[in-house]
């Protein structure tokens, strides 16, 4: 499909989030829980963090999107991630999957495969090395890559096809694909990777967008555009990563059509 990355399309989704305040259920890592909850609140969504076996399905039952992030995984949490994903799939709400550190340890890569093979996510978001680690080794390393983006693009499309979902590769330029076509999201700032968990925050925001935008590729693209726009606005005021984090939350809160119009870059 074609991606409609226009000011109107992005702003329309932001307005829908603000008026619906969708409940986004996060099972995420300890490092970023506070930041992702704050980013969801600043944007206008309603975050909840819950991981207990006894309640995880009940929480999914009242949520509009589920965000799974394996950043500080352990076996007990992986079990409830699986239950939550299964319930979300049965209920028909979008599932966002963030494979933090896939490829860094065998346990992480294996856990991602187990969770995603049981229930395919709606959107997968990771950095290039994580997304490449999730694709079969044979595919990921086939041929000689002539550019730094060729290999990620191959993995991106392959993963999207494999799980019939949208995939985002975050980086200096973000890449999004639905398996058929792929697009670049060009907003963002070099200081953003110096704040821990802005990738995790991106995944959480994809959850908010997917709660109001039924097309996964558009939800992912609009969320990444908003991340990049707010990151640029924040970086223009920031003296370093400490102030960037603060201005980023303020920018999410203050986001309006005019700011999107003056900052959004085309695909």
Q: In the complex, which residues of this chain contact a copy of itself (CB under 8 A)?
A: 29-35, 37-38, 41-42, 47-55, 58-59, 62, 71-76, 101, 104-108, 193-197, 238-243, 245-254
**Phi and psi torsions of 167, nearest 5°:** -130, 140
* Calpha distance 97→216 (Å, rounded): 12
Nearest distance, CB of residue 106 and a copy of itself, angstroms: 6
In Å, what is the CA distance from 38 to each residue of 15, 43, 78, 193, 252? 18, 9, 24, 18, 10
Select 173 or 196, whichever has its Cβ closest to a copy of itself.
196
Select 56 or 85, whichever has its Cβ closest to a copy of itself.
56
Distance of CA 42 to the CA centre of its chain: 16
Beta-sheet strands, E only, within the chain: 23-27, 46-49, 65-69, 95-98, 123-127, 166-170, 174-177, 182-185
Give me the residues paired with residue 67 across strands.
26, 96
Distance of CA 266 to the CA centre of its chain: 20
Nearest distance, CB of residue 252 and a copy of itself, angstroms: 7
Nearest distance, CB of residue 256 and a copy of itself, angstroms: 12
Select 75 or 146, whichever has its Cβ closest to a copy of itself.
75
Nearest distance, CB of residue 86 and a copy of itself, angstroms: 17
Select 29 or 170, whichever has its Cβ closest to a copy of itself.
29
Nearest distance, CB of residue 10 and a copy of itself, angstroms: 19
Select 3 or 112, whichever has its Cβ closest to a copy of itself.
112
């Amino acid at each position: 499909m074609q991606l409609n990355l226009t000011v109107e399309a992005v702003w329309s989704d932001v307005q829908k989030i603000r008026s619906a305040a969708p409940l986004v259920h996060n099972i995420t890592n300890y490092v970023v829980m506070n930041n992702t909850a704050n980013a969801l609140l600043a944007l206008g969504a309603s975050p909840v963090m819950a991981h207990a076996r006894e309640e995880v399905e009940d929480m999914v039952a009242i949520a509009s999107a589920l965000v799974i992030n394996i950043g500080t995984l352990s076996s007990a949490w992986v079990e409830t991630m699986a239950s939550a994903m299964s319930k979300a799939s049965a209920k028909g709400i979008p599932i966002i999957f963030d494979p933090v550190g896939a490829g860094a340890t065998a346990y992480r890569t294996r856990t991602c495969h187990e969770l995603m093979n049981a229930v395919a996510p709606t959107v997968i978001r990771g950095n290039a090395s994580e997304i490449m680690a999730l694709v079969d080794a044979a595919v990921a390393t086939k041929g000689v890559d002539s550019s730094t983006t060729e290999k990620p693009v191959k993995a991106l499309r392959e993963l999207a096809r494999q799980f019939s979902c949208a995939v985002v590769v975050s980086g200096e330029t973000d890449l999004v694909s639905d398996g058929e076509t792929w697009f670049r999201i060009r907003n963002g700032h070099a200081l953003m990777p110096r704040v821990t968990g802005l990738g995790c925050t991106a995944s959480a925001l994809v959850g908010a967008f997917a709660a109001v935008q039924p097309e996964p590729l558009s939800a992912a693209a609009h969320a990444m555009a908003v991340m990049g726009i707010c990151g640029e606005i924040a970086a223009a005021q920031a003296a370093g990563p400490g102030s960037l984090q603060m201005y980023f939350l303020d920018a999410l809160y203050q986001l309006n059509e005019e700011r999107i119009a003056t900052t959004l870059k085309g695909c």
